Copies of this chain bind each other. A is one copy, B any other.
Amino acid sequence: MPRKGLLIVHTGNGKGKTTAALGLACRMLGHGKRVAIVQFIKGSWRYGELDMRERYAGLLDFHVMGKGFTFKSEDRDADVQAAKEAWTLAETVINEGEHALIVLDELTYLVQLGMVEEETILRALLKRPPELHIIVTGRDASCALIEQADLVTEMKEIKHPLKAGIKAQKGIEF
């Protein structure tokens, strides 16, 4: 079967990488298609997103990696182990072929921090079920990932309120 599913990358230093993935998830769910979201950074998803699980019960699978690494841990071995387990779960969800769209949220960090070999990830993405769309989010997407992707958007920060001393807002930042 020829490949129809797109590999989409949201990268850059601006807001909107995860949020735009969330919007695409809503759109796909609105078509009655199943979506899975795998979160690789502990705590990067908040109440607003978690509410979606209830709204779209039966269609949306949310894998919040409770043991996901946090950048803050002082136990590198444990972090690497947690990252590898998260990736293994993602690979399983990809290969199951039960979803129309899978969001791999903040996946790029696993590569940047040397937690998972990029070659392993790229190979898994390449041999995904042909109809499956995948969105990878995270800063500093590698050239190899961009090369393999079908659609790449850079979210570029032009102006940010936290730099102007405005506090994070409920519903906007979290």
Contact = CB atoms under 8 A, between A and B. Distances in A.
Interface size class of A (residues with CB under 8 A): 35 or more
B22 A48 contact: no
Copies in the complex: 2
A107 interface: no
A146 B171 contact: no
A49 B27 contact: yes
Interface on chain A toward B: helix, strand, loop, or mixed SS?
A: mixed
A77 to B, nearest CB: 34
A46 interface: yes
Interface string A42-55: 00001111111001
A5 B16 CA distance: 18
